[in-house]
Amino acid sequence: MNRNDVALETRKTLLDGFISIDRLHLRHRLFAGGWTGLLQREVKLGGKVAAVIPYDPVRDELVLIEQFRIGPFAADDPEPWLTEIVAGMIEPGENAAEMARRETQEETGCAIGRLEKIMDFYSTPGGSAQRIALFCAEVQAASAHGIHGLAVEGEDIRVLTKSTDEALAMVQSGTIRNAISIIGVQWLALNRDALRRRWA
- Our answer to whether residue 106 is catalytic in this structure is no
Where in the chain are all domains bearing CATH 3.90.79.10? Answer: 48-198
* Residue 33 exposure: Cα atoms within 13 Å on the Cβ side: 0
Instruction: Indicate which residue of 79, 91, 153, 166 is catalytic.
Output: 153
pLDDT by position in tens, the chain (length 200): 999 999 999 999 999 987 899 999 999 999 999 999 999 999 998 778 999 999 999 999 999 999 999 899 999 999 999 999 999 999 889 999 999 999 999 999 999 999 999 999 998 899 999 999 999 999 999 988 888 888 787 788 999 999 999 999 999 999 999 999 999 999 999 999 999 999 98
Superfamily for domain range 48-198: Nucleoside Triphosphate Pyrophosphohydrolase (3.90.79.10)
* Global confidence as pTM: 0.90
